[in-house]
Structure formats: structure tokens, C-alpha cells
Homo-oligomer: A and B are copies of this chain.
Amino acid sequence: MPTAAPSIARLFNFIGGSTGPWRVDRVDCVAGEPIPTASRVSVVAGTLAQLPQEASWLLRGITSNERYVVREEKTALVSKQEGLGREASTRAALIPIRKNTAWWSLSQDERRTVFEEQSRHIAIGLKYLPAVARRLHHCRDFGPDEPFDFLTWFEYAPSDSAAFEELVQALRASPEWEYVDREVDIRLVREGVQL
């Protein structure tokens, strides 16, 4: 059957194992079950022909339209944000989260109220732009049994590490996070770069 015109990559694979450009610096299991150990992480776009033999885990997600951002916020985000892959961004974080049934049972307006009016999720992210670049990947509608709902990938310079910590702590302290029932925080360092 004909498919939609090919577009920019939307599907991304995060592979934990013993190879890859990103060295695992630290893994914190913030809520729910941990994931297996890995010393390196690779990020690969597109459909994988097969999983690398040495992989200990594979997390997949797809970029999509924003679910909560209104026009004014979208304009502000687009004007301040920078892309991934900046040379100085030798620090990264991969933070998979899952939200509970109570969250997914809320109506759209209720989710927006918790997300922004109560938790300032967009405002907090905006405060750390362009220092902290990010890409959100959705998993919840990727299949019926995905281990997480979202994978967020962040990149920043070592000098912005403290700012990134503030961002993460502010979100975790928000009302939105009461709906998070699984979260793993994987901190990474890009090797082969003069630090």
C-alpha cells in the first residue's frame, strides 16, 4: 500500500550496551523499576534492521506534534531553542518516564492545567533555553506494551550542568510529577572530546 511521503527522521532508537559515543556517567532510578546496566549508549535514527548483539536495552520513541503548547509558547520556544549536536554539548541525559492511569484518564483541559498552569512545565524549559537543548520522543502510542510513555533527550555543556540539575529538580517537584510512576535518569558524557 502506498505510504506517506518520506520525511525527516521521526523514529529514534536509544541503545544501551558496551559501545557507542556516549559513556554512561550515572544512572538513577527515580521511580518504579530500574533498567539493566549499560556502559555506553548510541542514538540511531530510523528502523533498525536488527538489534546489536551486545545491547542490554533498546528504548524507542517517535517525535510528534506537541500536545500542550499554545501558539505564544510555541513562538517563544522556537525563537530561543537551539538544535542537538552542538560541539560544546558534551553532556547529555536520557530520561524515560511513564505516567499513571490517572493522568491518561484526565481530559485535555485537565492535563493542560496540571502541565502548565500548575507545574509551569513549558515555562521551566524555556528558562533554560538555549543552554539545554532537548528532543521529546513519544512511546505510548508506539505499541500497547511499551515500558515508558516518553523519552526525553537533553544536551548541554559541562558548564551548564548545575542549570540542568535545577531544571530537572524543578520539574520533579511539580504537581505533574505526582502522575509519574516510572522514571530513570541516565546521564551521559560524549567521549573523544577535549574536556
User: Does A108 lie within 8 Å of B67, measured CB to CB?
Assistant: yes
Known: A1-B57, A98-B4. A108 touches B144 (CB 8 A): no
- The one of B2, B64, B107 in contact with A33, judged by C-beta atoms closer than 8 angstroms, is B2
**Residue A121 CB within 8 A of the other chain:** no
User: Does B2 lie within 8 Å of A147, measured CB to CB?
Assistant: yes
**Chain A interface, >50% SS class:** loop
User: Does B110 lie within 8 Å of A71, measured CB to CB?
Assistant: yes
User: Does B67 lie within 8 Å of A1, measured CB to CB?
Assistant: no
Closest to A137 in B: B141
Number of chain copies forming the complex: 2
Closest to A73 in B: B107
Q: How far apart are the CA atoms of A65 and B111 in the complex, in Å?
A: 11
Most-contacted residue by chain B among A3, A6, A10, A70 (CB, 10 A): A3
**Residue A69 CB within 8 A of the other chain:** yes
Instruction: Note all chain B residues with C-beta closer than 8 A to A9.
Output: 144
Closest to A99 in B: B65
User: Does B57 lie within 8 Å of A107, measured CB to CB?
Assistant: no
**Residue A165 CB within 8 A of the other chain:** no
User: Does A141 lie within 8 Å of B4, measured CB to CB?
Assistant: no
Q: How far apart are the CA atoms of A58 and B108 in the complex, in Å?
A: 30
The distance from the CB of A125 to the nearest CB of chain B, in whole angstroms, is 15
User: Does A4 lie within 8 Å of B145, measured CB to CB?
Assistant: yes
Give A contacts to B, CB under 8 Å. Answer: 1-4, 6-7, 9-11, 33, 35-36, 46-47, 57, 62, 64-71, 73-74, 98, 104-112, 138, 140-147
**Given contact pairs A9-B144, A140-B141, a sample of 5 additional A-B residue pairs in the complex whose CB atoms are under 8 Å apart:** A4-B146, A10-B144, A65-B104, A141-B142, A142-B143
